[in-house]
Amino acid sequence: MVANLASVRDDFPILNQKFPNGQPLVYLDSGASAQRPRAVIDKITEVYEQYYSNVHRGVHQLGDRVTTEMEAARTRIQSFIGAASTEEIIFTSGTTMSVNMVAQTWGRHFLKGGDEIILNEMEHHANFVPWQAIARERGAILKFIQLTPEGRLDLDHYQSLLSSRTKLVAVTGMSNVLGTINPIAEMAHRAHEAGALIFVDGAQSVPHQPVDVVGSEIDFLAFSGHKVFGPSGIGVLYGRRQLLENLPPFMYGGNMISEVHLEESHWAGLPARFEAGTPPIAEAVALGTAIEYVTDLGFDAIQEQEHILGEYALQKLREVPGLQIYGPQELEQRGTIFSFNIDGAHPEDLATLLDRKGIAVRHGHHCTMPLHQHLNIAASVRASLTFYNTTEEIDALVDAIHFARQRLRLV
């Protein structure tokens, strides 16, 4: 278990609040956006109060300090994901921008008619629609890995899809609905054997499990700050240096150029080439603090606590009459994301009634309409947990579900 869990919860000021009706907040929506520890909140304040200025410009003391802080954050992120160089770490606005950046640079530059991109139905729209759009533009073909009845990728079918025409495999590290943890290293190895690249959407997986982009043979990895206990509006794109050096810029403007002439311009080196304009400076600095916070806790402790929570949640939710959990039923194959429906209850009604008891969950299609169509449902309710949650909060969730069942006259 995370050492001194009570003190860890105290690191997150929002978790200690109560609503006007006296209900304590039970925040079970970290898959949508995690909460921030005090250290991250204080870091943002520190930047604005003490040394805010633009970065990579000027020689005054404020500019030098904030540039140093931002590049220190980049170095922490490099170490956090096991990248070979800070030049492979690009600051973006989040996972969505990162996916679009690769689709519009690599895709437009290298894809041609008849090339194939491999996707699957569990992908978030952000790792689905950009590839759909660039494939249509370039005349490429989309192919889809089948899902097993348990909600896992069928690796035999995946192998059958790989060919000399395969140029890219785009896959999530962890499903934001099913909780499925995908075997990224194995999938990357198979993709490379076929001569293809792999793009990993790490928005859900990076906050919960260690990443080694080199050891896992990952070509591109994207994740968002707000899901890894950092600020919103900031994210990361990792790309192997050899790949990034051969890509054209995504946006044009200040900071991403080395020379501008009347007739032509020349681009800056990495990572500046892909960071046009003024970045979200305080957010980038504070993302480094969030990464430091997670690193200090350690993934061994985080995963131990989340394993306890996951086992308890599966046990308690299974006891609720008429409740169906989607995705793998064994905790070893999934993270602490639990999407479910209850017979006779509309997901929005259920989520609304849970909110009356202070339970914050998500409802809807969770930006995975193809997956919900595959499951033959329109929507679901999702409870997503992380290390700052407790078994008592799971009990509160289950009690609130029983309250909702009574109000909906399902008992």
Instruction: Cite the active site residues.
Output: 367
What is the rounded radius of gyration, in angstroms, for the C-alpha atoms of the chain?
22
Tell me which residue has tokens 């220190």: 72
The one-letter amino acid at 280: P
CA–CA gap between residue 107 and residue 261 (Å, rounded): 28
CA–CA gap between residue 279 and residue 276 (Å, rounded): 8
Give the 3-state secondary structure percentages of the chain, helix then strand then coil, rounded to 5: 45, 20, 40
Considering Cα of 97, then 103, then 105, then 108, what sign does the dihedral take?
negative
CB 282 within 8 A of CB 266: no
CA–CA gap between residue 275 and residue 264 (Å, rounded): 19
CA–CA gap between residue 52 and residue 354 (Å, rounded): 41
CA–CA gap between residue 254 and residue 265 (Å, rounded): 12
The Cβ-side half-sphere exposure at 27, using a 13 Å CA radius, reads 20
H or E segment to which residue 341 belongs: strand 337-342
Helix axes 347-356, 391-407, angle to 10 degrees: 120
Cα maximum dimension of the chain = 75
Q: What angle do CA 206, 210, 214 make, to 5 degrees?
A: 95
CA–CA gap between residue 226 and residue 232 (Å, rounded): 5
Strand stretches in 126-219, DSSP E: 141-145, 166-172, 197-201
Q: CB 408: neighbour CB atoms within 10 A? A: 15
